[in-house]
Structure 1
C-alpha cells in the first residue's frame, strides 16, 4: 500500500497549530469561554488549509481544551481544562509503561511513598467528617467476607482515592491520579492472590485512625508499613509465578 506523504505533512502541521493554540490557552493569552477565530480566519492567519485547521481543532477538542457550539452565536470556544480528563490521558500512558516493564516495583513503591506521604500529612490537617466516613466505609467492606478479588481491589483504590481527596489540594490530586488509577490497579492485580485481606484492612484502619487523630507522623509510618507489605507480596507473587512457569516447562 503506497504511503500518503501529504497526509503525514498535513498531520504534522495540524499538530503544530494545535500546540500553538494549546500554549496560548495554558498561559492565559486565550481566556476560558473566549471564542476562537473562525476556521477561515485561522487558516488565513497560519497560512494553511481549512481541513488542517479542522484537524488541529479536533486535537484540542480531544484534550477537552476547546468545544464547538452551533447556532448564530456558535463557534469554537476555549473550555476550562478538565483535570480528570487530562489526568486520564496521563494514566493511560502510565498503565502502558508499567505493562511493558518500564517501571519496576521499587520505583512504583518509592513514588507512592513520597507522594502519598504528602497526602497523609495534608489530610491530617484538612480531613472532613465525610472524608473519614468514606475511608471507614471501605475498611468495613474489606473486613466483610463477601467481596470478590476484583471488588476488594476496587475498594483498596477507593480508600486511597478518599485519602487523596482528604488532602484538599487540586494540583496534588492531579499528580496522584496516575498513582491511584494506574499504579494501584496493576500492582493489586499481581498481589491479589498472595496478600492477606485482613492485613490490608488493618493497615487502612490504622491509617484512618491516624488521620482522624491528626497524627501525621503516625499516618506516614503506617503508609510506609503498608507499602513495604505490598512490595513483599509482589515479590512472593512473582516467585510463585516463576515456579509455576518452571514446572510447566519441565512437563513440556
Structure 2
C-alpha cells in the first residue's frame, strides 16, 4: 500500500485512495481486517481525525464496513452488483445533465448496449423476467396512465429485458444507461410518441424473447431505436416551426 502523501492535497482523500487501490489490486482481500486507526496513523504519519475521515470516505463508497467489539474494526466489504446500481444510475444521470449529451448520442449508446443483451435475454430469460415484461406491456396499454407512470413502466420493461441476459456485469453497466437515459428520452419525445406504437414494439420484443428468437428480438429493438430517433426529429421540427412562426 502506498503510504507517501503529497502535502498540497487533502490527506484524508489520499489515504482513502491508497486503501481503495490496495483493495482493487488485491493487496487487501474481501473480509480482511484493515490496520487499526493507530496503525494507519503511524503508516501515513497523520493524525487520528485524518484517518477517520479517510475511513468515512471508504464507508460511504461501501468499500469497507465497521464492526464493534473486541474483534471489531474496519473490514473490506464485498460489494454486490445490486448495491452498486444506485451509484451507477446517479453517476450516469449527473454525467448526462452536466455535460449536455445530445439526444442522438444518448440514444445510440443506450440502444447499442441494450442490443448486446437482447439476444442473450432470448436464450436465458427467466419466467419471472418475461412475466415482468408482459405485465409492463399490459400496464402501458391502460387508458388514463400518466406520462410519468408510462415512463416508469417503460424503464421497468427494459430493465427486465436487460436482466434477462443473466449477466450481472451487463445489468450493472446498463442500470445507468436505462434508468438515466430512458427518462431523458421520454421527456423529449412524449409529446410526439404513440403509446400504441411503443406497446406494439414492446410486444414484438417480448414475443421474440419468449420464442427464444434472438434475431427477431434484436430487429424489434432496432425498430424501436429507429422510431425513437424519428420522434426526436419530429419534436425538433415542431419546435423550430413554432419559433419561426410570426
Question: What is the TM-score with the length of structure 1 in the denominator?
Answer: 0.88
> Shift of residue 83 of structure 1?
2.5
Q: 1:223 aligns with which of 221, 224, 245?
A: 221
Q: Is 2:238 the partner of 1:240?
A: yes
Which one of 166, 169, 187 corresponds to residue 167 of structure 2? 169
SS at match of 1:194: coil
Pairing 1:1-252 to 2, within 5 Å after superposition: 12-244=10-242
Unaligned runs of 5+ in 1: 1-7
2 CA distance for matches of 1:48 and 1:180?
43
Cα distance, 1:50 vs. partner? 1.3
* TM-score relative to the length of structure 2: 0.90
Contact 1:11–1:55 under 8 Å retained in 2: no
Structure 1 residue ranges, 4+ long, deviating more than 6 angstroms after superposition = none
Aligned residue pairs total 241
**Mapped contact 1:63–1:86 kept (Cα < 8 A):** no
Distance, in Å, in 2 between the alignment partners of 1:15 and 1:140 is 49
Q: Deviations over 1:125-162 (max 9, x none)?
A: 11121111110000011111131100000000000000
Q: Per-residue deviation at 1:189?
A: 1.4
Residues 85-121 of structure 1 show CA distances to partners (whole Å, capped at 9, x for unaligned) of: 4343333232223224542222222212321111101
RMSD: 2.0
| In 2, Cα distance between equivalents of 1:246 and 1:89 | 42
| Deviation, structure 1 residue 84 | 3.8
Query: What's the counterpart of residue 3 of structure 1?
Result: none
